[in-house]
Amino acid sequence: MTDRNQAEWLLQQQSYDQMEKQALWLKVVAIVLWLWLVQTESSLVLQLGLIGVFWLHEAIWKTQQSRTADRLLALEQALSQGKDIGCQWHQSWLQQRGGAVGLVLSYLKHCFKPTVAITYLVLLAATFGRHFN
């Protein structure tokens, strides 16, 4: 592995791991805020808004994490082929960026991944169950 590949791989791997931790904290904050809204008997619209904002934010976060994973795989492939592609993150991202529509579709794709969706689906079910029972 070239020095540039190695330096970028280490940075991207640390970034990937940090994004995973931050996504978990995002879920914790969403649950705590939702519990507070339930405790204060806030409106259905406010609870649904909170769930929607956090769900979308996590989907955006996971989209970025997915790009990091793709870059890690490219760096690892370059290693196996003896190529130097280090320090070209933005150039490679621009080449595969799909425009505004592609970006929105990417967010939606990550929104419905089970690891992202499960927390927010449970919160939605609890919110509707609470308001309609």
Q: What is the 3-state secondary structure (H, E, C) of the chain?
A: CCHHHHHHHHHHHHHHHHHHHHHHHHHHHHHHHHHHHHHCCCCHHHHHHHHHHHHHHHHHHHHHHHHHHHHHHHHHHHHHHCCCCCCCHHHHHHHHCCHHHHHHHHHHHHHCCHHHHHHHHHHHHHHHHHHCC
- Structure confidence by residue, pLDDT tens digits, 90-113: 888 777 777 888 888 999 999 999
Band of residue 87 on the pLDDT scale cut at 50, 70, 90: confident
Average pLDDT of the residues of the chain = 92
Average pLDDT over residues 27-31: 98
Between 81 and 1, residue with greater pLDDT: 81
pTM: 0.87
The total domain count for the chain is: 1
Query: Which domain range does residue 101 map to?
Result: 3-131
